[in-house]
C-alpha cells in the first residue's frame, strides 16, 4: 500500500502495454542498428522502451513527451537509477504539433492520439477522402523522423470484426470503426511515406501479462482494504475493466508493432 493509503500505481508493469522483455530486446536491437543519435518518444509514459534504446545506443540522447506527471516522474527516477539522467529528458507537454523532431528513432506505441488535435477524420488524404486517426498519426510521424531513421509505431487493430455484444462490453461508446484491420494500417503506413521493415503483433500471453499486471496492485489492495472509503468505487472500476477485457476485446483487439523506414 502507498503512503497515501491508496493502491500503488502500475508497479507490476515494466511496459505500459502488451510487450514482453524478449520482444522489447528484439525491437531495440532493430532500432539501434544504424547507431541513432536522437530518440523521440511520443506519449512516453515512464519511457521504459526509450531508456532501453538509450542503453543500447550509448551516443544517443532521448526526449519523452507525455501529460501524465506521475509517469514522467517515474521515468526520471528510472533514468537516474540507470545512469541515464543526463541523456534522457522527460517533458510534460503535448505532442500535438511538436517541434521536437526530427529524431533518428521515433517511438509511438499506443499513443497515436497524442499527435492529433481532434481534427483527425477531417483532414483530407488528397482526394477528398477523410483520413482515419491512424493515417493522420502516421503522417505526423513522417514529419518527425530524420532521413534514414526508424519509427516504431504500436497501434491497436481488429483481429476480426467485433460482434455487437463484444462492442457493448468494451469501453463506453465502442464502435466497429474505432480500429482498422492490420492490412489497412500497413497500407496507411506506406501511404504516409514509409516502407514497412518489420511487422509483429502482441501475443495472447503478452496481453494476459499486461491486463493482469494493470490490475494486480489494485486487486492486492482491495483484498486487504475492503472497508476503505474508496474500496467500493475502486472495486467497481476494476471489475468493469476486467469484464471489458474478458467479455469484450480479448481475442478481438490486437496490437501491432510496425518498424517503419521513411522513404527518401
The per-residue pLDDT for range 77-95, each reduced to its tens digit, is: 999 999 999 999 999 999 9
Which residues form the domain of 112?
21-159+175-203+255-262
pLDDT of residue 2: 47
From 162, 239, 257, select the one nearest 200 (Cα to Cα).
257
In a domain, 195, yes or no: yes
pLDDT of residue 180: 97
| Helix H or strand E encompassing 80 | helix 69-81
In a domain, 215, yes or no: no
pLDDT of residue 118: 66
| pLDDT less than 50: residues of the chain | 1-3, 120-122
pLDDT of residue 5: 74
- In the chain, the percentage of residues whose pLDDT exceeds 90 is 91
Contact 255, 203 (CB under 8 A): no
In a domain, 168, yes or no: no
CB atoms within 10 A of CB 259: 19
In a domain, 208, yes or no: no
The whole-model pTM stands at 0.94
Percentages helix, strand, coil for the chain (3-state, rounded to 5) are 40, 20, 40
What CATH number corresponds to the domain at position 48? Answer: 3.40.50.150
pLDDT tens digits along 229-251: 999 999 999 999 999 999 999 99
In a domain, 98, yes or no: yes
pLDDT of residue 131: 73
pLDDT of residue 127: 56
Domain count, the chain: 1
Amino acid at each position: 500500500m502507498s503512503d497515501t493509503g491508496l493502491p500503488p500505481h502500475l508497479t507490476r508493469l515494466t511496459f505500459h502495454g502488451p510487450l514482453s522483455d524478449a520482444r522489447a530486446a528484439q525491437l531495440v536491437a532493430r532500432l539501434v542498428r544504424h547507431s541513432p543519435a536522437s530518440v523521440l518518444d511520443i506519449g512516453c509514459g515512464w519511457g521504459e522502451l526509450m531508456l532501453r534504446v538509450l542503453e543500447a545506443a550509448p551516443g544517443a540522447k532521448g526526449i519523452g513527451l507525455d501529460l501524465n506527471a506521475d509517469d514522467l516522474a517515474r521515468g526520471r527516477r528510472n533514468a537516474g537509477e540507470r545512469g541515464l539522467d543526463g541523456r534522457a529528458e522527460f517533458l510534460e507537454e503535448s505532442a500535438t504539433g511538436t517541434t521536437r523532431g526530427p529524431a533518428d528513432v521515433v517511438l509511438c506505441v499506443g499513443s497515436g492520439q497524442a499527435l492529433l488535435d481532434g481534427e483527425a477524420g477531417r483532414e483530407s488524404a488528397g482526394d477528398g477522402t477523410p483520413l482515419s486517426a491512424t493515417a493522420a498519426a502516421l503522417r505526423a510521424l513522417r514529419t518527425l523522423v530524420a532521413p534514414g531513421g526508424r519509427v516504431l509505431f504500436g497501434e491497436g487493430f481488429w483481429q476480426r470484426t467485433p460482434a455487437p455484444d463484444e462492442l457493448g462490453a468494451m469501453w463506453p461508446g465502442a464502435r466497429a470503426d474505432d480500429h482498422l484491420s492490420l492490412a489497412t494500417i500497413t497500407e496507411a503506413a506506406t501511404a504516409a511515406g514509409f516502407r514497412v521493415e518489420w511487422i509483429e503483433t502482441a501475443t495472447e500471453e503478452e496481453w494476459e501479462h499486461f491486463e493482469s499486471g494493470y490490475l494486480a496492485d489494485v486487486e492486492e489492495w482491495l483484498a486487504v482494504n475492503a472497508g476503505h472509503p474508496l474500496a467500493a468505487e475502486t472495486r467497481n472500476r476494476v471489475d468493469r475493466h476486467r469484464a471489458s477485457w474478458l467479455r469484450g476485446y480479448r481475442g478481438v483487439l490486437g496490437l501491432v508493432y510496425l518498424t517503419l523506414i521513411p522513404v527518401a
